[in-house]
Amino acid sequence: MTQKLAASAEGIATAAEFLRAGDLASFPTETVYGLGADATNDHAVAAIYVAKDRPQFNPLIVHVADKSEAQRIVDFNPNADRLAEAFWPGALTLVLPRTRDCAVSLLVSAGLDTVAVRVPNHKTAHALLRATGRPIAAPSANPSGQISPTTAAHVMDGLNGRIAAVLDGGSCTVGIESTVVDLSGPTPVLLRPGGISYKDLLRVIPSLETTSGSPDAPKSPGMLERHYAPKTPLRLNAMTAKIGEVLLSFGPDDPSNSLNLSPSANLTEAAANLFAMMRDLDENNAAGIAVMPIPESGLGQAINDRLRRAATA
């Protein structure tokens, strides 16, 4: 059962304890309710995908209390400085390169070299960030494919029993998700229209583009997937490594002492390890990475989706 917590000092402290322990807690922001996890905890982040029943690893937004905290996670540039100055706290998410010593889980980035960061404009969200003392990764708190929740009751409708708690902060004032702007490339690009309008953004960075030239047609999420692919070719459903290959194994029947996504065949653990292990193996300059079969159930679908994309990139 999911605990419904009042947005009191006590409720906030309880939600923060859950987050620090690696459990999931939903919390209000001015846009929509977020499904929060400790962004530095791979397992907690993997649990977000389980709770949402997401068939794919979409990258997640990391919520922080202020710009200086965001700067520990991503490298700012002049456009990012201007947008943060103009719109934070608020309904604007900035996609920027991960810092060298970024503590945020690679699963949050879904394998990309960037992190999306946002400073929400909501008292309860800030109190929770303070009490937790960690950056909080949070997609909208709805099961995959359903609409974003703007009340604690909506969150309960979709996720009751799947998360530890929901902090009830009443109705969200903005009611639509944040605008997402990618500042990691040579030109700033609007990825998702949202709470802050394209026109308002243009006033601050006139060079802002939309991929299609229209703010109504943002880059499809699928396009993001191409950003990350290992340099080393991937071979899927392999039982052993061939000469020159390194093995990414799964389950107790590991034929070697290679990296194992989950020796106990636990898919949440495998998801938590996936991106970090792929990167490790990619750095070996091996002829190939052979990946053992992963069952196509639960989180296995998202893991296999990502592996197939990496194999065909």
176 vs 287 by CB, closer to Mg ion: 176
- Residue of 80, 102, 159, 224 that binds ligand TXA (CB under 6 A): 224
The item of Mg ion, ligand TXA, none sharing an interface with residue 58, based on CB under 5 to 8 Å by kind, is ligand TXA
* Number of residues forming the site for Mg ion (CB under 5 A): 1
CA distance 63 to 120: 7
- Which residues, 6 or more positions from 49, have their beta carbon under 8 angstroms from its beta carbon? 57, 271, 299, 302
Answer yes or no whether residue 124 interacts with Mg ion by CB under 5 A: no
Answer yes or no whether residue 192 interacts with ligand TXA by CB under 6 A: yes
- Residue of 14, 26, 29, 304 that binds ligand TXA (CB under 6 A): 29
- In the complex, which residue's CB is closest to ligand TXA? 139
Answer yes or no whether residue 261 interacts with ligand TXA by CB under 6 A: no
Answer yes or no whether residue 93 interacts with Mg ion by CB under 5 A: no
Question: Which residue carries 């299609």 as its tokens?
Answer: 212
Answer yes or no whether residue 221 interacts with ligand TXA by CB under 6 A: yes
Dmax over CA atoms of the chain, in Å, equals 60
CA distance 3 to 155: 11
Q: Provide φ and ψ at 69, rounded to 5°.
A: -70, -35
Considering the complex, what minimum distance in angstroms separates the CB of residue 146 from Mg ion?
A: 9
Integer CA distances (angstroms), 198 to 83, 179, 239, in order: 12, 8, 50
Looking at 8-41, list the stretches that DSSP marks H as alpha helix, in order from N- to C-terminal side. Answer: 9-20
Binding site for ligand TXA (CB under 6 A): 29, 31-32, 34, 58-61, 93, 95, 109, 112, 114-116, 118, 138-140, 177-178, 180, 182, 191-192, 221, 224
